[in-house]
Amino acid sequence: MKGCKPAPTPMEKRLKLSRESTAEEVDATSYRRIIGSLRYLVHTRPDLTFSVGYVSRFMERPTVEHMGAVKRLLRYIAGTINYGLVYPRGSGEAKLVGYSDSDLAGDIDTSKSTSGALFFLGASLISWQSTKQWIVALSSCEAEYVAATTTASQAIWLARLLGDLKGKEAATVKLKMDSMSAPALSKNPVFHERSKHIDVRYHFIRECLENGSISAEFVSTKDQLADILTKALGRVRFHELNARVGMVKIQDGHKD
């Protein structure tokens, strides 16, 4: 991709690809090789996480449409080759805070949603993930609830790890969500009719809230940083969130 025109975002906004595409097929081995290489970048580039996960869904029978999305991703990387996470120096004891978000039925082949989670230790991003949910959510509330449970599991693990490193009890982790109904569903068993069909494993977050290992907090949609992990965003929104999670242009080891 040397000499290519850089793309402003990893993926075109509202792009929807299907496994049932009738476009011409491309060499699957080459496609998988590129995806395999991109997966390594995800460990240090949260801005690539959703896009790489999305194009990974089509490795069985990739077409020119899927390869086109991969090439755009490569053009974005070419234009952000000097970008990376910056960890600012903090003062005092840094607290672990998580963000949980979900789209709704973003996968057009299965109607399944995508969960996104970010964790900050103080002002530094230390963990992120974007995963397709295992069940079909019937509403945005349910999709957010499933995402919150997945995020809670990661939160408990991180809190215990930090506790072990510090020689202290695991502290309560604040979990920020932009859905008001999902926290209500998590805290109040009265919402039985809206949740009785959900797999029992996803009610794990209720126990976490009851025993105090997790606390839920509402955050406005504009401040939901995990939004960058659930869908392809427009240029302005993408770059706003990218900067807020700590991705900046770095020259010669210094912040630009």
42 — pLDDT class (breaks 50, 70, 90)? very high
Q: Is the pLDDT of residue 256 over 90?
A: no
**Could you give the percent of the chain with pLDDT greater than 90?**
71
How far apart are the C-alpha atoms of 97 and 172, rounded to whole Å? 9
Closest CA to 47 of 21, 72, 76, 22: 76
Residue with more model confidence, 183 or 43:
43
8 A C-beta contact, residue 144 and residue 176: no
Segment 81-126, tens digit of pLDDT: 999 998 888 756 789 999 999 999 999 999 999 999 999 999 999 9
| 253 pLDDT tier (thresholds 50, 70, 90) | very low
- Rounded to whole angstroms, how far apart are CA atoms 196 and 53? 30
Domains and CATH numbers, the chain: 1-81 (no CATH), 96-228 (3.30.420.10)
| Distance from C-alpha of 148 to C-alpha of 99, rounded to nearest angstrom | 9
State the chain's mean pLDDT as an integer.
90
Q: Determine what percent of the chain is predicted with pLDDT higher than 70.
A: 89
φ/ψ region of 34 (left if φ > 0, alpha if ψ in -120 to 50, else beta) reads alpha
Top mean-pLDDT range of 48-52, 122-126, 210-214: 48-52
What pLDDT digit, counting tens, does each position of 147-172 carry? 999 999 999 999 999 999 988 888 99
Of 191 and 181, more confident? 181
